[in-house]
Copies of this chain bind each other. A is one copy, B any other.
């Protein structure tokens, strides 16, 4: 069996037909959901691209791997799903984005050549790159945001698109009155992108995926990682005008959120992103483009499924659909991601397992608390391995997929490090204190903030839209304590003993005695007979007098 592990970027959990969106139809996502299991409570370990992905790829919490924000390098030697799967004889390929930043300093310290096989895999987060393109080719006075080469820009140039950065001038610009108009600007979000649809990012990566699949020898895991529907919010025709203001759901927000607001939440609300999305005109421009981008993703998923079907691979390919985080889109007076309301931290998670063992769960949904770090162990188990649970902190989802009801985690955890934003200095905090933690037990969601700030708490049973922060009063101290109990247990978890497994430890018990470490005996009669002979070596005839 092969694994097609598809990640979309910034795709909200509820912007799919199968997840109940009132206007957006996504028949191909829905088809995969009908073929497999849709996990309705899937949480990312950090609501930002880089940290979330490093958690998904390593199967470890953000504070365990340490790459807690975009551009924080993943420390050299940290193991990823590529390392685990390759040991099991399964290749692990990348097609698209990872947001991986290599630990160049650590690699140099260990003498790893950047262009060696090992060095390249370290730099590519353990993947072999069929194509790596992180999809953000912004350029400013200090140069490109991303200094690597862009295979997508190279593709566009090969197709005749002009200039140094056709990603900016075509794929992410609108076309207005015969002129390109920057896709960065909301006012242009309803324009058709200045590009042929088939050359835009999502079809291009789909073509790359088909090209990969057609030549690959299994077993393989392919991480197909689309940049969309991430901003810039602009989409080519015909997707640019499929949706309009009448398809834009009302923002989930309430003026009560503006009273006695948690200082970090308030800072995000007051930032330029929050301000932009508090303007309803922004939402009405942006959300139809966002929906168009998703619709295009769905059509391209259909194209990929059709290809697998035509080439008789659908019965031999596990398909996983998920995202790295959501998008507030104006809910809670916020844009982007960053905090732990469901629109930001909850993601789609659909898994189709073609094997007969999964037959009884096809088309079902599962409400268990799932974390993105569960994917790596799921893949290890799907590839026939046993999960190295001294390294991987997630848990295999295979029992759910096979219709079992395993003992399961009592809470999900997510983290967010906002030290690189202007908010920390605004609150007078040092970088290390700019850290947030979420604990969610399926009903209550606690947000803890380092730096001496108060927590937030929501009851998603009585308040599913997460409007009423129960920490605005002191009336829920017992609940807060209970949720902190979970967080504190988690804080003391074993996360770095990665060089010794549970079984290794069981096996090492008692070994030192059999290797001659015999302290705390009176006269040796305590040792077993089988140890006696070696023990007697130490009471031999050799003695210092012989030397005199």
List A residues at the B interface (Cβ < 8 Å): 63-68, 71-77, 79, 83, 103, 105-106, 109-112, 116, 118, 122, 136-145, 159-163, 165-166, 168-170, 172-173, 175, 178-187, 194-196, 231-232, 272-273, 276-277, 279, 282, 335-336, 390, 417, 419-422, 425, 430-432, 435, 437, 448, 450, 484, 487-488, 490-492, 494-500, 502, 505-506, 508-524, 526, 530-531, 533-535, 537-547
Bound together, the chains give a CA A510 to CA B67 distance in angstroms of 19
Bound together, the chains give a CA A451 to CA B179 distance in angstroms of 67
Contact A186:B521 (CB < 8 A) given known A71-B508, A492-B437, A512-B145 = yes
Contact A165:B537 (CB < 8 A) given known A110-B112, A140-B515, A511-B142 = yes
Contact A518:B138 (CB < 8 A) given known A66-B498, A161-B547, A544-B194 = yes
Of B64, B68, B75, which contacts A77 at CB under 8 A?
B75
Of B140, B430, B500, B534, which contacts A139 at CB under 8 A?
B534
Contact A539:B336 (CB < 8 A) given known A110-B110, A517-B136 = no
- B523–A185 contact, CB under 8 A? yes
Bound together, the chains give a CA A336 to CA B519 distance in angstroms of 10
Residues of B contacting A163 in the complex (Cβ-Cβ under 8 angstroms): 540, 542
- A180–B141 contact, CB under 8 A? no
The 5 closest A-B pairs by CB, nearest first: A491-B491, A138-B516, A66-B496, A140-B516, A182-B538
Bound together, the chains give a CA A178 to CA B540 distance in angstroms of 11
A528 and chain B: residue at smallest CB distance? B141
- B516–A66 contact, CB under 8 A? no
Report A404 CB to chain B, min CB distance, Å: 21
Residues of B contacting A512 in the complex (Cβ-Cβ under 8 angstroms): 138, 145
Bound together, the chains give a CA A509 to CA B238 distance in angstroms of 38
Central interface residue in A109, A110, A161, A450, by most chain B CB within 10 Å: A110
A118 and chain B: residue at smallest CB distance? B111
Central interface residue in A165, A492, A516, A546, by most chain B CB within 10 Å: A516
A167 and chain B: residue at smallest CB distance? B538
Report A326 CB to chain B, min CB distance, Å: 15
- B162–A231 contact, CB under 8 A? no
- B112–A170 contact, CB under 8 A? no
Of B77, B186, B537, which contacts A110 at CB under 8 A?
B77
A517 and chain B: residue at smallest CB distance? B138
- B138–A515 contact, CB under 8 A? yes
Report A546 CB to chain B, min CB distance, Å: 7
Bound together, the chains give a CA A530 to CA B142 distance in angstroms of 11
- A539–B182 contact, CB under 8 A? yes
Contact A515:B142 (CB < 8 A) given known A165-B537, A537-B168 = yes
A162 and chain B: residue at smallest CB distance? B542
Residues of B contacting A542 in the complex (Cβ-Cβ under 8 angstroms): 161-163, 166, 169-170, 173, 180, 194
Report A518 CB to chain B, min CB distance, Å: 4
- B181–A73 contact, CB under 8 A? no
Bound together, the chains give a CA A517 to CA B420 distance in angstroms of 15
- A450–B143 contact, CB under 8 A? no
Bound together, the chains give a CA A8 to CA B22 distance in angstroms of 71
User: Can you list 23 A-B contacts (CB < 8 A)?
Assistant: A66-B498, A72-B497, A73-B499, A75-B77, A75-B496, A138-B518, A139-B534, A140-B531, A142-B514, A159-B547, A169-B542, A180-B538, A180-B539, A182-B535, A184-B524, A194-B543, A272-B521, A336-B519, A390-B432, A420-B505, A420-B509, A422-B510, A484-B488
Report A32 CB to chain B, min CB distance, Å: 30
- B500–A72 contact, CB under 8 A? yes
- A500–B73 contact, CB under 8 A? yes
Central interface residue in A65, A137, A518, by most chain B CB within 10 Å: A518
